Amino acid sequence: MTTSPTTAAEVVAAVQQARAKKSPLQPVGGGTSLQFGLQSSAPVEQLSLAQLNRVVDYPARDMTITVEAGVTMQDLATTLAKEGQRLPVDVPQADRATIGGVIATNWNGFRRFGQGPLRDFVIGIEAVDGNGLLFHGGGRVVKNVAGYDFCKLLCGSLGTLGIITQMTLKVRPLPERSAWLACGVNDAKKAEAMLAALQQSAVTPAAIELVSGSVWQQQTVLSELKLTPQNFGLLVLLDGTTTEVLWMKDHLRREWREAGIVNPLMQDGTAEPWPAVQEFSAHVDSPLTVQASVVPSGVLPFVAACRKRDPDCSVIAHAGNGSVFVRFARFPDKGLGELLMGDLQPAAAAHYGHVVILNAPPGAAITHRSMWGGEAPLGVMTAVKRKFDPFDLLNRGRFVY
């Protein structure tokens, strides 16, 4: 069953009802990330935020916007573009994904390298906790240290501390020009050297993407990269004024030429990414999609660990930040828990990271421990959860506690 409140007060009422009935709630935005994390252990009532979809205030000259949680990323982008602005967070299925859901899952797009993570853009937040308390953090100004930072705390909390109802975002001007440069790289050693060089380069990319696997081999626009199951593609996005982008393009080509890359593939003058760059993780035809967060130097070793288990897996990494997305070609024979505990979590942990599931078949057996295998102060997290949601109503059983 689904309820669809139209105001924050109705969200409060829905939580109070759930509390009275002791029945858990699953807050839902566009429904694009319902597979994220574990599946709820109890039968759930869904609470849709889709009708909380108003733009509350958009003082464009202050470069902030206040919106309700159910506004889709596409509508948000359209509103901001009218004033020459944007939230530089690119998500898959932007026509369905809502800003509330993006914040709850701490989704970060490929522009994170140049523009910073999503959490840096959330400057005010409103949510309803499991006690039915409608609470706020932050405000509507770009700099503010009054009180505890609920914006950060709720970002990535998977709706388990509060149902996010409204937020104020800091926005950025749209770049005058964007360009992509791409090249094929033969092996992991060379790829690592090129990634490290990009960090030292005078060029300041907006995104540094490393790709590999069959998904990319099938992209006809990338055919010049001559991708094989063993090599890699390196995709670099340049954002800025025309003068800046042209200078960076020229400079990067020169740097790459010295590294033996003669004719990089280019796509200039459009902000549109190559197909699949933005939508990669949304493809549900893959039996298993995971995301690893590791240090940047851990990207290639983690990809190697995945290829060892499934030579046909496909990968995109926001390599400058250490976010790796892997689509496996087949479901692991020995089950998901074994794959995670046996290989993926240790491979990520070796580089200070951990792995989460973005998409797995319904009923894939997985334990709490294998899902959330990394090191974290769970005691304090659980204490916070108990204060905000003492009856364990919100997304029960899906997160780390």
Helix axes 299-309, 188-200, angle to 10 degrees: 160
Which of 24, 90, 99, 150 touches another protein by CB under 8 A? Answer: 150
DSSP 3-state of 363: coil
330-340 b/e (C-beta count within 10 Å ≥ 16 → b): eebeeebbebb
393 lies in the site for another protein, by CB under 8 A: no
Residue 180 or residue 274: which is nearer to another protein going by CB? 180
Which of 54, 119, 190, 309 touches another protein by CB under 8 A? Answer: 119
Q: Which of residues 70-109 bind another protein (CB under 8 A)?
A: 84-85, 106, 108
DSSP 3-state of 203: coil
- Phi and psi at residue 72, to the nearest 5°: -75, 155
Q: Which span sits near another protein by CB under 8 A: 23-31, 261-269, 316-324, 361-369?
A: 316-324
| Total residues interacting with another protein, rule: CB under 8 A | 83
DSSP code at position 72:
B
196 lies in the site for another protein, by CB under 8 A: yes
202 lies in the site for another protein, by CB under 8 A: yes
204 lies in the site for another protein, by CB under 8 A: yes
Site string for another protein, 5-44 (x = CB under 8 A): ----------------------------------------
153 lies in the site for another protein, by CB under 8 A: yes
DSSP string of 251-289, one letter each residue? HHHHHHHHTT--S-EEEES--PPPTTTTTGGG-TTSSEE
β-pair type (2-3, 265-268): unpaired
281 lies in the site for another protein, by CB under 8 A: no
267 lies in the site for another protein, by CB under 8 A: no
294 lies in the site for another protein, by CB under 8 A: yes
62 lies in the site for another protein, by CB under 8 A: yes
- Closest approach of Cβ 228 to another protein, in Å? 27
Cβ atoms of residues 340 and 328 within 8 Å: no
Q: Cα-atom radius of gyration of the chain, to the nearest Å?
A: 21
Q: Which span sits near another protein by CB under 8 A: 69-77, 92-100, 138-146, 218-226?
A: 138-146
392 lies in the site for another protein, by CB under 8 A: no
Cβ-in-10-Å burial (0-12, 13-18, 19+) of 342 comes to middle
DSSP string of 134-173, one letter each residue? EEEEE-SSSS--SS--HHHHHTTSTTSSEEEEEEEEE-EE
Residue 197 or residue 364: which is nearer to another protein going by CB? 197
CA distance 120 to 172: 12
- Closest approach of Cβ 206 to another protein, in Å? 12
191 lies in the site for another protein, by CB under 8 A: no
Residue 223 or residue 242: which is nearer to another protein going by CB? 242
Q: Which span sits near another protein by CB under 8 A: 69-77, 196-204, 226-234, 309-317?
A: 196-204
Cβ atoms of residues 207 and 236 within 8 Å: yes
- Closest approach of Cβ 373 to another protein, in Å? 8
Site string for another protein, 227-246 (x = CB under 8 A): -------------xx-xx-x
Site string for another protein, 327-346 (x = CB under 8 A): --------------------
Q: Which span sits near another protein by CB under 8 A: 210-218, 225-233, 263-271, 296-304?
A: 296-304
Q: Which of residues 171-190 bind another protein (CB under 8 A)?
A: 172-174
Cβ-in-10-Å burial (0-12, 13-18, 19+) of 344 comes to buried
293 lies in the site for another protein, by CB under 8 A: yes
Which of 55, 265, 350, 400 touches another protein by CB under 8 A? Answer: 400
DSSP 3-state of 327: strand
Cβ-in-10-Å burial (0-12, 13-18, 19+) of 152 comes to middle
58 lies in the site for another protein, by CB under 8 A: no
- Closest approach of Cβ 17 to another protein, in Å? 18
Evaluated on CA atoms 76, 105, 124, 173, the torsion sign reads: negative
Nearest CA-CA partner of 1 in 45, 49, 60: 45
The neighbour count for residue 260, using CB atoms within 10 Å, is: 11
Which of 180, 232, 274, 372 touches another protein by CB under 8 A? Answer: 372
